[in-house]
Amino acid sequence: MKRMLAVLIAGLFAEGAVAADLLGVYRDAFAFDAQFASARSQAAAGQESRIQGRAGLLPQIGASATVQYNDSEIKRPLPGYSGRYGSNQWGVQLTQPLFRMQNWYQYEQGNLASTVSELQLESARQDLVLRVAGAYFDLLNAQETLASIVAQKGATMQQLELAKKSFEVGTTTITDVHEAQSRFDLVVANEAAASANVEIKRETLRRYTGKEYNALAPLREGVHFDSPQPADMAQWATRAEEDNFGVQAAKLAAEIANKTLSSNRAGHLPTADIVASYGATNNNAIGGITATESKITSGSIGVQLSLPIFAGGYTQSKVRESLALRDKARSDYEDARRAASLGVRQAYLGVTSGIAQVAGYEAALLSSRSAVEANKLGYQVGVRINIDVLNAETQFFDTFRQLSRARYDTLLAQLQLKSATGTLGETDIQAINGLLDPEAAGRPITLPDTTPKTEPGNKKSAADALTGRKKK
């Protein structure tokens, strides 16, 4: 049975901390993240565009009232007579558009703008998934990196002590001691940087969720990554060019630009409205020549026709502006399609190359572990020097860190691939969440033991193991 070296990072996992997995962290962020909350508010504001556009097609009703005091003097034909009286009036007017093409185009623009806001909210939700997953995996990777450096520090310290003892008995030179001391000092510096990086990644995750997670569910041992289906990058690119939320929003923006152009061109057209009004005017006599009170009520209904003739060149200028903005929107749409195609290809290659890298690093980890054991045995029998062991150990721990990074990068690339095609949802988070091991959250991080499988100090058995010979 393979022995394992358990590396516990002091203070890395708080005692009694509740384990969190990716799905739970995402749901916390969904309720807390300020950036996504901003997107929700923006989407709610965007929904009003539909109502505002529709308002231009519906009746407009207004009311007015006036109360005033009048003081008048008549010089002809009866000079010297004056009238002082109060008056008040009120009225209600209804206007129903019959023909206003500009209003109709603005109504269509409002519907499109409302749909764009919905797409932007979905895009923000997918962005939240990627940000949270990236922060989650970054923290796990930072913790594993720190664990490997702590383990490397212990292994380097062991080699430093062996070098000092060997120098004291005269079997090695002072160079071996200096090399081991230099390597140990470098690992100590890396440990400080790795420890700070863990805190930075923890704070990044807390920014999204408002919570501090001291225990995160890591990947299960021997986890298998599935290849993208369909296994055709061109099909993924085609889907992205149609279904990507950014592409859909850019396409609608181009349609809105067309509607804006049509609306501004309609500024040359006549308008027709039904106008109905009703009101009353009261005059209260105070004195002078006005001897009686008067009360007048009136109502009217009719069709009002307006024809714009010249507006100082404003309408023509707006048309030219709209033409330029329409061309810009079309270019933006094409750029969005190309960006989506590039993004999905990068994500696809990230998954496929990530799977290959994980397999390669797993094999390399086994090989580098065997190399460490062999160099330690060689050092015991005198056919290897201390720097050989230090180099082999450095290679082993570097491979462990590269393997850890490759695993999390592959998981993130899977999410990015779904996001590029506009299909990333909570079910994809649940699928990745199934690859995690909640029971392992908070446990000490373990690394393979590189101790030679022979008893220390038994040079004959060490040499036999190194050369593959069996003891008689």
Q: Look over the chain and give the mean of its residue pLDDT values, rounded to a whole number.
A: 87
Separation of alpha carbons 344 and 234, rounded Å: 9
Separation of alpha carbons 42 and 124, rounded Å: 11
What distances in angstroms separate CA 356 from CA 28, 236, 420, one per listed residue?
33, 20, 22
215 residue type, one letter: A
Task: Give 454's pLDDT tier (boundaries 50, 70, 90).
Answer: low
Task: Give 74's pLDDT tier (boundaries 50, 70, 90).
Answer: low
Separation of alpha carbons 135 and 143, rounded Å: 12
Instruction: Give the orientation angle of helix 386-420 with respect to helix 101-169, to 10 degrees.
Output: 170
How large is the average pLDDT for residues 172-194? Answer: 92
Residues 6 or more apart whose CB falls under 8 angstroms from that of 288 comprise 72, 81, 82, 83, 84
Separation of alpha carbons 358 and 391, rounded Å: 22
Highest mean pLDDT among 85-99, 401-415, 434-448: 401-415
What distances in angstroms separate CA 183 from CA 197, 374, 452, 462, one per listed residue?
21, 20, 21, 25
User: What pLDDT shows up at residue 292?
Assistant: 61
> C-alpha angle with apex 38: 33 to 43, nearest 5 degrees?
125
Number of CB atoms found within 10 A of residue 251's CB: 20
User: What pLDDT shows up at residue 287?
Assistant: 53
Instruction: Give the orientation angle of helix 22-32 with respect to helix 174-209, to 10 degrees.
Output: 50
